[in-house]
Structure 1
Amino acid sequence: MAEKVEWCELPLELWPKIGKYLDKHIDILRFRSVCESWRSSISPIHLNSLSFPLQIPHPINSSIDAYLNQATLYLVEPTHSSSNFQSFSKGYLIKVEESKNHPFRLVSPISDRKINNHVSVSPMVLNLLEYRVFELCKSYNVHSNGGHYVSVNKVVFFPNSTWINIENSVACCVFREGKLGLMKHGYEKWKLVDENNFYYDDVIVFKGQFYVTDKWGTISWIDTCSLKLIQYSPPLCGFGNKKHLVESCGSVYVVDRYYESGPRTRRRNHVEHPNHDAAVECFKVYKLDEEWGKWVDVKNLGDRVFILGNSCNFSVSAKDVIGYEGNCIYFTDMFDVRMYNLQDHSIITIAFDPWIEKFAENWRK
């Protein structure tokens, strides 16, 4: 057991088994880039087991073609061998979108605004010997042909692995009126979960399942077989206008968004909803103590950064990324990207796109 064996001397039949433990696309690319034997052990056909954009039923009108587009968030860091190592020590947070007309397009990690429409059209090239590329998460959007309206606030898709066939994946969405929808391969239309209620705010994938929160901050997970909700947390009873779910370091948080001038609402389908054109006044953050089954009021996130994007929520460490401050929440508000500081409760408008454009220009041919 004490004898060391070089990786290159391992039996060839082990490499396919090792490779199948890699779920993320970028990890498999790096695996196949090591040497010829590693490359041949995993067929490239597996890299496209799920092809996006993915055609799905339109949420409202089944006669209209709709597509599920995928975007991937990456953290790109220089290695010591990189020529840019001296220029920055942290990594860039980038988001790459796959769509029907543009196989790969750079977008803002927060607002999803297209970045590479007005910069050089030359392709970006990253030498994986000079940069470490980490996949953080994926996000999804529903689009339709002809510019037809798609009434979806949030959509998630799971599982999405190199080794998973489309027949085994499920999409879950929160419609703009607050309903929950579920779609599996072969469905002709979306099926409603808890169809009599209109009060759901957000959905994420947590612990391999779909978790949703309602307007009271009660978290439930969805049994995709029975289409039933199983309550996971006690009610938060937060008085904000919109609840967001964020997973950070293995725990689940609810971020409660408050709008200025009280709950300015609009009515749709006889149900009141927050007016999302109203400016944000503040946020409150709560962490679920799963052991005791109670909510903890969080006053300080430390070096963690919470990002409430237009298509996904996620958390990163401020020590790892350029341009982000710890103990802050980044979000969109009336089409602007803003930062809320939990310490002094200040809100400022920021410009992230220059960081992304700088990244795009530096690594183009």
Structure 2
Amino acid sequence: MKRGRSRAEWSDLPKELLETIAGHLQTKTDVCRFRSVCKSWRLSVPPFKNPFFFPLCLPFFEPINRHQAFLSLTQSTLYYLNQPSLSPSSSSSRGWLVKIREGRDDLQNHLINPLSPLKICPFPDPFPKTLNLSNFRVFEVAKCYGLQFPNGSFGCFKVAFSPNPRPSLMIVTSGLLWHLQLSGHDNRWVLIDDMISPLSYDDVVLYRGKFFAVDDYGRAVLIDPSSLGLTEIVPRMIAREGQKKRLVKSKGELLLVDRYPDKKWDKSGDIKVEFRVFKLEIEQKRWVEVKSLDDRILFLGHDCSFTLPARCFGGGCKGNCIVFADPVFMVFSLNDGKLSPMDQHPEYISIFYPPST
């Protein structure tokens, strides 16, 4: 008896099934890799089409750019790349981060510092001029947004972008919340009226399809992008603890990172900096302190913050720590509260550089 094929050929999958699968692909990377499997898959799904072409030109905003004609909304994509080990006997592999600011075409794309909006120029010596993405595992970690002046500089803004139901953005500048609708005829900046937290907002993110903002007392509010209605989620903390708060999405949860840049010096003469991390319990309307991030590394960036498992990077990287730049790259351990420059941790430096091979 002749034995049949033990597995189906991927190229034989019906077009209707391929279209259903492709309908769940949300990123350009996923669509490109899907279309690269074989000719029939490539013909069944069109190339990824970005609904927005960045940078977007924004209308004049008096409180921000008094002497500038316009601002540009930039979008950068943060990628995680992993090159599988070439040795069959080795189960370890090394990954690293790459951030690309998107332009109108591929020639206008730029390599960006993963923790800031600054362009990397020239390329570091070990960084390859080209990458064949078919040799790597690639996934998108986050989208990062910034406001850029005509001279190319970036201001101290926190930016959150909502593509649905109508594209809009919310920014924090000088402690105030501003909203801009990007569709329709009346494209103008609107100040979110909130007398409880005047001039004290620190950060804003898009979370579960709505804008979440936090002030420097830990008070958290939700703003509906459609109605601009403001709802208090967490009241102010009893005391004003840290001086700089950041919101971070991690594994579907919303974290609050509270930084304490105390005017205290340790024995080595360096300024002492500490962090505390809290998790939002939205039903209980409270922040609950998180004592451990387990195996995850929390990256605090100027334009976006995120977490990834330490095992993604290999090379001895350990979790339960915070990596940030101020202005040099630093590592803060939540295990013992120790702060140290990244040059003392070569295993973390490799997160931002590809292997020499």
1:48 aligns with 2:27: no
Q: What SS does the aligned partner of 1:232 have?
A: strand
User: Aligned partner of 2:324: which letter?
Assistant: F
Distance 1:54 1:87, change over 3 A: farther
Partner of 2:325: 332
Q: Is the 8 A contact 2:84 2:93 kept in 1?
A: no
In the alignment of these two chains, the number of paired residues is 333
Partner of 1:191: 190
Distance 1:302 1:320, change over 3 A: same
Partner of 1:153: 157
Partner of 1:270: none
Q: Is the 8 A contact 2:11 2:41 kept in 1?
A: no
Q: Is the 8 A contact 1:108 1:356 kept in 2?
A: no
Q: Is the 8 A contact 2:205 2:213 kept in 1?
A: yes
Q: What SS does the aligned partner of 1:8 have?
A: helix
- Where does 1:149-298 land on structure 2 (aligned, <5 Å)? 151-159=155-163, 168-175=166-173, 177-186=174-183, 187-194=186-193, 197-237=198-238, 238-261=240-263, 281-298=273-290
1:126 aligns with 2:135: no
1: CA distance between counterparts of 2:271 and 2:98? 27
- For residue 93 of structure 1, the aligned residue among 88, 97, 103 is 97
2: CA distance between counterparts of 1:152 and 1:291? 32
Q: Is the 8 A contact 1:97 1:105 kept in 2?
A: yes
Partner of 1:300: 292
Q: Is the 8 A contact 2:313 2:351 kept in 1?
A: no
Note the C-alpha offset of 1:105.
Answer: 2.3
Q: Is the 8 A contact 2:95 2:351 kept in 1?
A: no
RCO comparison, higher one (Cα < 8 Å, 6+): 1
2: CA distance between counterparts of 1:83 and 1:300? 34
Partner of 2:311: 319
Provide, for residues 295-344 of structure 1, a one-character-per-residue CA deviation record: whole Å limited to 9, x for no partner: 322222211111110111111111112574311111222x2221111122
Q: Is the 8 A contact 1:115 1:356 kept in 2?
A: no
Distance 1:6 1:308, change over 3 A: same
2: CA distance between counterparts of 1:310 and 1:84? 40
Distance 1:58 1:17, change over 3 A: farther
2: CA distance between counterparts of 1:213 and 1:84? 48
User: Aligned partner of 1:189: which letter?
Assistant: R
2: CA distance between counterparts of 1:75 and 1:317? 11
Q: Is the 8 A contact 2:60 2:70 kept in 1?
A: yes
1: CA distance between counterparts of 2:34 and 2:131? 18
Partner of 2:108: 103
1:34 aligns with 2:32: no
2: CA distance between counterparts of 1:322 and 1:105? 27
Distance 1:232 1:4, change over 3 A: farther
Partner of 2:77: 72
Q: What SS does the aligned partner of 2:49 have?
A: helix
Q: Is the 8 A contact 1:234 1:294 kept in 2?
A: yes
Scaled by the length of structure 2, what TM-score is found?
Answer: 0.81
1:309 aligns with 2:322: no
2: CA distance between counterparts of 1:344 and 1:357? 24
Distance 1:338 1:85, change over 3 A: farther
2: CA distance between counterparts of 1:223 and 1:135? 26
2: CA distance between counterparts of 1:281 and 1:318? 22
2: CA distance between counterparts of 1:85 and 1:42? 37
2: CA distance between counterparts of 1:43 and 1:24? 13
Q: Is the 8 A contact 1:246 1:313 kept in 2?
A: yes
Q: What SS does the aligned partner of 1:296 have?
A: strand
Note the C-alpha offset of 1:83.
Answer: 7.9
1:359 aligns with 2:354: yes
Partner of 1:22: 25
User: Aligned partner of 2:145: which letter?
Assistant: Y
Distance 1:358 1:201, change over 3 A: closer
Q: Percent identity?
A: 34
Note the C-alpha offset of 1:22.
Answer: 0.8
User: Aligned partner of 1:140: which letter?
Assistant: Y
User: Aligned partner of 2:309: which letter?
Assistant: S
Provide, for residues 132-156 of structure 1, a one-character-per-residue CA deviation record: whole Å limited to 9, x for no partner: 1011111011112135x76542112
